[in-house]
Structure 1
Amino acid sequence: MTLILAPDYIVPLQKGHDRDTFDCGNEELNRYLKRQARQDADKFAATPFVLVEADTSIIRAYYTLSSSLAPLAELPAELVKKLPRYQHLPVTLLGRLARDKTIPNKGVGEYLLIDALRRSLEGAQEIAAMAVVVDAKNPDAERFYRHFNFLPLQRTPHRLFLPMRQIAQLFG
């Protein structure tokens, strides 16, 4: 097995990708990739991006991006002061992020997150999004995102965000 961490190997989900062998150890995330991800892509509900094994169609990790809204009331007061006073603001939702359990945890999750943040920033330059939002599925996921400076929203437990301005600074 050759797993290469390079942008060329993270691509939008295609019909020919092998989804059947993917197993991240979480049945909900497995089921989504195997049964719903293509439908979401076809209906423009979410865009799944997959990390494929070199020279194969085998999916070793994936994440999804979609447009969403964040209620202004959920954002920290110090940030709200600097934002327009709309009831809701546009964000990019990083809906799912998973790696196959056959892949050692040697930076694959971090690499996928950086790729998702880069794509989110690029998209926000054409269609506004003031932050990337994630719903941490469990305490480990929450620790993972907080390690990368994601902040909690005020009223929704385990919903975190990273302002696009901070993401822009990451990429210079």
Structure 2
Amino acid sequence: MNGFLCEALSKTHDRKRFDCGVSALNAYLARSANQDVKRKVAAVFVMCPQAEPERIAGFYTLCSTSVELTGLPDELKKRLPRYPQVPGILIGRLARDDDFPGLGSLLLADALARCVAASTQIAATLIVVDAKDLAAQSFYEKYGFKTLPNLPSRLFMSMSIAEKL
């Protein structure tokens, strides 16, 4: 993976050195990520340079979610059963250290691959992301995510599209 290794967050990783320029994401990784893992609230994956396996170059979180069927675009709704909720996987946070420009694409690719793999064991129709700002929204849209009609800061990709990627 281009000189990087992606693995589950562990105590060997240096969470305090990570700096993506967003204090809320830095604080989450430094103070809350381990607790989320222990409480089974989120799975946290870190990407580390192979030459510095303790250094976190980027990270993302995954957890289960659902989206109301009525909140999806009509073209997707008509292909789904009429259950009130559609199962999905949420990429809750995704960030790269400022010292590793361009790593966001690699992080997203790894997250999508994990989502596709997980969906073979636990059903998930969608992959959902929360865009914290317009730059994040643009990043996700570049890879095919679409805005949920009722929640403009929340975007989705169908699992079938992710499988093709």
Instruction: Please state which band the TM-score falls in when normalised by the shorter chain.
Output: over 0.9
**1:68 aligns to what SS in structure 2?**
strand
Give deviations 1:26-77, integer Å, cap 9, x for gaps: 0010011000101111111101100112243011100011001111111101
* Structure 2: 5+ residue stretches without partners: none
Pairwise mapping of residues 123-138 of structure 1 onto structure 2 (< 5 A)? 123-138=118-133
Size of the alignment, in residue pairs? 164
Confirm or deny that 1:63 pairs with 2:60. Answer: yes
* Cα offset, 1:90, TM superposition: 0.7
Distance in structure 2 (CA, Å) of the matches to 1:51 and 1:148 = 20
Which residue number corresponds to residue 46 of structure 1? 42
Distance in structure 2 (CA, Å) of the matches to 1:146 and 1:55 = 32
Q: Which runs of 4 or more aligned residues in structure 1 lie more than 3 Å from their structure 2 counterparts after TM superposition? A: none
Q: Which of residues 23, 26, 35 is equivalent to 1:27? A: 23
* Cα offset, 1:93, TM superposition: 0.1
Which residue number corresponds to residue 82 of structure 1? 79
Distance in structure 1 (CA, Å) of the matches to 2:132 and 2:2 = 25
Aligned-residue identity in percent: 42
* Cα offset, 1:80, TM superposition: 0.3
Q: Which of residues 91, 94, 112 is equivalent to 2:91? A: 94
TM-score by length of 1: 0.92
Distance in structure 1 (CA, Å) of the matches to 2:145 and 2:2 = 23
Distance in structure 2 (CA, Å) of the matches to 1:15 and 1:101 = 22
* Cα offset, 1:157, TM superposition: 1.7
Which residue number corresponds to residue 163 of structure 2? 168
Confirm or deny that 1:110 pairs with 2:105. Answer: yes
**2:109 aligns to what SS in structure 1?**
helix
Instruction: Tell me which amino acid in the other structure corresponds to 1:140.
Output: A
Q: What is the alpha-carbon root mean square deviation over aligned residues? A: 1.2
Which residue number corresponds to residue 72 of structure 1? 69
**2:11 aligns to what SS in structure 1?**
coil
**1:48 aligns to what SS in structure 2?**
strand
* Cα offset, 1:169, TM superposition: 1.4
Confirm or deny that 1:120 pairs with 2:142. Answer: no
Larger fraction in strand: 2
The answer to whether the Cα contact below 8 Å between 1:5 and 1:111 also exists between their aligned partners in 2 is no
Distance in structure 2 (CA, Å) of the matches to 1:90 and 1:5 = 32
Instruction: Tell me which amino acid in the other structure corresponds to 1:11.
Output: E
